[in-house]
Amino acid sequence: MWRVLSRYPRLLWRLQGVAGQALLAHKARSFFVVAAVAMGIAALTVIVASVDGARRKALEIVDFFGPDAVLVLGGDIENRPVGQRLNTLSWSDARAIARSLPGAYAVLPMRSVRSVTLRYGNKNHEVPTVVGATENYAATWNWPLSEGRDLSADDIAHGAKVALIGDAPAKALFGDASPIGRTVMVKNLPVQIVGRLSYRGFTGGGSDVSVDDRLIMPISTLTQRFNLDRHYFRGLRVRFHDPDLITVHMENLRSLLRHEHKLGPTVPDDFTIMSASEILKFLTAFTGGLVAFLGVTAGVAILVGGFVLANLMFLGVSERRVEIGLRKAVGATSGAILIQFLSEAVYLTLAGAILGVGLGVGLGESLSRLGMLELRLSPKIFVLSLAAALAIALAFGLRPARKAAGLDPIEALRGGE
Amino acid sequence: MTGQASSGESEPLIRLTDVTRSYVMGGVTNTVLAGVTLDVAAGEFAAIMGPSGSGKSTLLHILGLLDRPSSGSYRLRGRETGELSDDALSHLRNQAIGFVFQSFYLIPYATALDNVLLPGLYSDAPRAALVRRAGELLDKVGLTSQARHKPSQLSGGQQQRVALARSLINDPDLILADEPTGQLDSATSREIMELLAAINRDAGKTVIVVTHDPDTAAYARRQILVTDGRVARS
Ligand SMILES: Nc1ncnc2c1ncn2[C@@H]1O[C@H](COP(=O)(O)OP(=O)(O)O)[C@@H](O)[C@H]1O
Ligand SMILES: [Mg+2]
């Protein structure tokens, strides 16, 4: 075979034409192989895209959350003991952390209101959360503004009726127009939009609510106008100087809060401390099941594609005995026959790969539109699919191709009589 | 005739010496060729005759380098073929030998033109020259207007004429035909044999035809009779 390759580039080229002609002559069989391989490659495409997507999402969440920060939420949200209050974090907790927790340098209290309807002109949009925040919200959350300005210390001090708008409500209410300077009705409160947060495109903290679907207002304004409990916070964001010591910091924070809340040794935490890595764990568990399922599916589908290829090729070789015998009689070497049949296999699986990537991208888009997966499509997928296709062709096509190459021309020709 | 005379310094095109061919099946040895010695000179038109099962096809396959003798020597163009590798035999078949079969053996999904081109694919000749030559050959066998037809659109006689054109595409010295008229009516058979005779006469090709039909054999200028695995008369 290698002799043929090196000595006869012209022959090699011609054999590609022969292979193509043979494939076109056996359209139904070719189609089945292409379809079978395409299924496997489609599954492969989705899995690679979703693994990449999950990794990118993880990185974004770490970036968004900040590797140097933790979020403290009221109540034990993991175990949810019966009868436990969620409002457990108070101003005195915030002050205690800021004053006496070593390594902490910023404590940002947050309150939020759930499911609030925004109105602009005749358009309505319900945001799952309106966040009450302190100054420099966008900056502290590493969340660039695409337009406008951040919340200022003045806004907080004066309870200004201003807000930062997330990408989702901005699109819903303003379409492509700029929301900056517009006045939106938040429930019954007219609020001026001063900044627009850039698109993040992921769901936060294990929920299926997009982080883009939110409005951010000064915590003072939110507390006054929505009659929120003035003593407690939904959450506290605490940042530390040294991200490498985050686990130590979290343990210290936990002891401090248990002490502040006067919890006895047998009483469970009435708060939850989350770091970026904790959020990632949750997320990985969530997508991991789907990825494993797709992985098995892809493996099985590719194997099925390979077996379909091998079986239909064996069928083709016995149906085309006369053709093979004739080719050998008129001067085709065994190598030339081998290359012809392997080339046929390669073209089928490559066509399957191209179709499969297309199918996979389509399938992936629908899955991510349904919110089941985060996808990232990259050239890597294409290269991987082509490599998988070549591997299928060589692994499953080699035996039938060798069978064709090994046919005795006399026997093969006699088979046609 | 001429072949026997010119031994010595210039060897005939084909020289078989004591060629045997036997098959072993289930421990039983079936000797099909039991020592064939035969010379065929360049330019001859010979018919190999004999009853069915006498080993005519087996002999032709050996002459055509599709099969190797169990023992004995086959020299083609003065060269011992037993020493050649399978790939070298393939190359020699491609360049030196043209085949015509009883069942035509055209590739069903290829056009008449592509079928004629087939042996050319495995040669080093440039495609343009091959296509030109294929056109000329189709013209010679009277099928120019059927060049784009598939074998299924052609009659048996037309298919065999495509096969004749195919056997000539690489301009070989030797044409081997196994019962070329076996599936044709007598009028069509005559056309095919006329064409083979013309190939021998005009192009100077050596033609060897296997047949058990005396009318077909009558076109040849030499009759080789095979019985019991031996050349009984030549
Ligand atoms: N591959 C084979 N294995 C066993 N016997 C064979 C094989 N090929 C041919 N024969 C035997 O050789 C004999 C001669 O066959 P063949 O050359 O085709 O005869 P002919 O062409 O004269 O009719 C037959 O008896 C046949 O059974
Ligand atoms: Mg025969």
Query: pLDDT band for position A6 (50/70/90)?
Result: low
Q: What is the pLDDT of residues B111-139, one digit of tens each?
A: 999 999 999 999 999 999 999 999 999 99
Does the CB of B219 have a partner CB in chain A at under 8 Å?
A: no
Q: How far apart, in whole angstroms, are the C-alpha atoms of residue B21 and residue A172?
A: 88
Listed by number, the residues of chain A in 323-342 with a beta carbon closer than 8 Å to a beta carbon of chain B are 323, 325-336
| CA nearest to A18, candidates B95, B158, B149, B120 | B120
Q: In whole angstroms, what is the distance from residue B32 CA to residue B50 CA?
A: 13
Nearest to B86 by CA among B110, B106, B109, B66: B66
- A306 and A410, same domain (yes or no): yes
Residue A297 banded pLDDT, cuts 50, 70, 90: confident
Q: Which residues contact B8 (CB under 8 A, 6 or more apart)?
A: none
pLDDT at B190 over 50: yes
**Residue A380: pLDDT band by 50, 70, 90 thresholds?**
confident
* Residue at A183: amino acid letter: T
Q: Which residues of B touch A323 (CB under 8 A)?
A: 107-108
- What CA–CA distance (Å, rounded) separates A303 from A216? 51
pLDDT-derived band at B3 (thresholds 50, 70, 90) equals very low
CB-based contact B124 A328, cutoff 8 Å = no
Range of the domain at A363: 2-61+282-414
Report the C-alpha gap between A34 and A355 in whole angstroms: 8
Which of B20, B25, B30 has the most ligand 1 atoms within 8 A of CB, as the residue to mutate?
B30
Q: Which atom of ligand 1 is nearest to the CA of B54?
A: 22
Closest residue CA from atom 18 of ligand 1: B57
Q: Which residues lie closer than 8 Å to B27 by C-beta, 6 or more apart?
A: none
- The protein residue whose alpha carbon is closest to atom 20 in ligand 1 is B53
Tens of pLDDT, residue by residue over B78-117, are: 999 999 999 999 999 999 999 999 999 999 999 999 999 9
Q: Atom 27 of ligand 1 has which residue's CA nearest to it?
A: B53
Report how far ligand 2's centroid is from the alpha carbon of B67 (Å). Answer: 14
| Residue B5 CB-density burial (10 A; 0-12 exposed, 13-18 middle, 19+ buried) | exposed
- How many CB atoms are closer than 10 A to CB A266? 5
The pLDDT of residue A101 is above 50: yes
Sign of CA dihedral A121, A123, A124, A130: negative
**Is A261 part of a structural domain of the chain?**
no
> What is the pLDDT, as a whole number, of residue B6?
44
Binary contact (A329, B64; C-beta < 8 A): yes
Q: Kindly state the helix (H) or strand (E) to which residue B98 belongs, with its residue range.
A: strand B97-101
Measured by CA distance, the residue closest to atom 16 of ligand 1 is B55
In this structure, what are the phi and psi dihedrals at residue B111, rounded to the nearest 5 degrees? -70, 165
Measure the CA–CA gap between B61 and B89, rounded to whole angstroms: 12
Question: For residue range A319-332, what is the model confidence (pLDDT) as tens digits?
Answer: 999 999 999 999 99
pLDDT at A106: 78
Same domain membership, residue A295 and residue A397: yes
| Mean pLDDT value of segment A296-317 | 91
- With H, G, I as helix, E, B as strand and everything else as coil, classify residue B21: strand
In a mutational test of the pocket of ligand 1, which residue from B24, B32, B60, B209 has the highest number of ligand atoms less than 8 Å from its CB?
B32
CB spacing of B124 vs A10 below 8 angstroms: yes
- A232: tokens are 């407690």
Q: What does the pLDDT read at residue A10? A: 84
User: What angle (nearest 5°) sits at the alpha carbon of residue A185, between those of residues A184 and A190?
Assistant: 85
Contact B107 A3 (CB under 8 A): no
pLDDT band for A373, please (50, 70, 90 cuts): low
Does A392 share its domain with A299?
yes
With 0-12 / 13-18 / 19 or more C-beta atoms within 10 angstroms meaning exposed / middle / buried, residue B193 is buried
- pLDDT, residue A5, reads 55
B229 lines ligand 1 (CB under 6 A): no
Distance (Å, rounded) from C-alpha B63 to C-alpha B164?
18
At A124, the amino acid letter reads: N
Residue A399 CA to ligand 1 center (angstroms) comes to 29
User: CA-nearest residue of chain B to A23?
Assistant: B109
**pLDDT for A206:** 45
Average pLDDT, integer, range B38-51: 96
Chain-centre distance for alpha carbon A152: 34
Q: How far is the CA of B44 from the centre of ligand 1 (A)?
A: 26
> Is B94 within 8 Å of A331 when comparing Cβ atoms?
yes
From A181, A213, A242, give the residue that closes a domain.
Answer: A242
Name the DSSP letter for residue B221: S
State whether A218 and A297 are in the same domain.
no
Residue B58, ligand 1, Cβ within 6 A: yes
Residue A116, Ramachandran bin (φ over 0: left; ψ between -120 and 50: alpha; else beta): beta
Tokens of B81: 């073929």
Q: Which atom of ligand 1 is nearest to the CA of B50?
A: 22
Please report the pLDDT score of residue B150 as a whole number: 97
Q: What angle do CA A327, B88, A8 make, to 5 degrees?
A: 70
Boundary of a domain, candidates A183, A214, A242: A242
Instruction: Report whether residue B211 contacts ligand 1, using a CB cutoff of 6 Å.
Output: no
**Does residue A100 sit in helix, strand or coil?**
helix
Q: What is the Cα–Cα distance from A112 to A91, expressed in whole angstroms?
A: 15
Residues 373-412 of A with CB under 8 A from B: 409-410
CA distance A306 to A33: 8
Residue A221 and residue A291 in one domain: no
Instruction: Kindly state if the Cβ of B48 falls inside 6 Å of ligand 1.
Output: no
Taking the centre of ligand 1 as the mean of its atom positions, its distance from the CA of residue B58, in whole angstroms, is: 6
How many A from CA of B71 to the centre of ligand 1?
17
CA A362 to chain centre: 15
pLDDT digits (tens, 9 = 90+) for A214-271: 999 999 999 988 888 888 888 888 888 888 888 888 899 999 999 998 888 888 888 8
* Interface size between A and B, measured as CB pairs under 8 A: 72
Determine contact: A2 vs chain B, CB below 8 A.
Answer: no
Query: Are A417 and B103 in contact (CB < 8 Å)?
Result: yes
Nearest CA to ligand 1 atom 6: B23
Mean pLDDT of A126-137: 88
Residues of chain B contacting A409 with CB distance shorter than 8 Å: 66
Q: Which of B167, B110, B109, B179 is nearest to B138 (CA)?
A: B167
Contact present, A415 and A325 (Cβ < 8 Å): yes
For residue B23 and ligand 1, the question of a CB distance below 6 A is answered with: yes
Q: Are A137 and A106 in contact (CB under 8 A)?
A: no
Helix ranges (H only) for A201-275 are 219-225, 246-260
What is the pLDDT at residue A316? 94
Q: Which of A24, A332, A413 sits opposite B122 (nearest CB)?
A: A332
DSSP codes, B39-95: EE-TT-EEEEE--TTSSHHHHHHHHTTSS--SEEEEEETTEEGGGS-HHHHHHHHHH
Distance, CA of A392 to CA of A102 (rounded, Å): 59
Does residue A3 register a pLDDT over 80?
Answer: no
Q: Is B53 in the pocket of ligand 1 (CB under 6 A)?
A: yes
pLDDT tens-digit series, residues A32-89: 999 999 998 998 888 888 777 777 767 766 766 777 888 888 887 666 666 667 778 8
Q: Report pLDDT for B66.
A: 96
Closest Cα to atom 24 of ligand 1: B53
- Domain match, A43 and A118 both: no
- What percent of chain B has a predicted confidence (pLDDT) above 90? 90
Q: Which of A219, A242, A265 is the last residue of a domain?
A: A242
B 89-148: CB under 8 A from A: 90-91, 93-95, 99, 101-103, 105, 107-110, 114, 118-119, 121-124, 127
Q: Is the pLDDT of residue A375 over 80?
A: no
Q: ipTM score of the complex?
A: 0.94
Average pLDDT in the A314-321 region?
Answer: 94
Interface test with B, best of A326, A339, A417 (most B CBs within 10 A): A326
Q: What is the count of structural domains for chain A?
A: 2
**pLDDT tens track for A390-401:** 999 999 999 999
Q: Could you say which of 3.40.50.280, 3.30.160.250, 3.30.460.80, 3.40.50.300 is the CATH number of the domain covering B43-68+85-233?
A: 3.40.50.300
How far from each other are the two terminal CA atoms of chain A, in whole angstroms?
A: 30
Residue spans of the domains in chain B: they are 43-68+85-233
Q: Give the closest-approach CA distance of B13 to chain A in angstroms.
A: 19
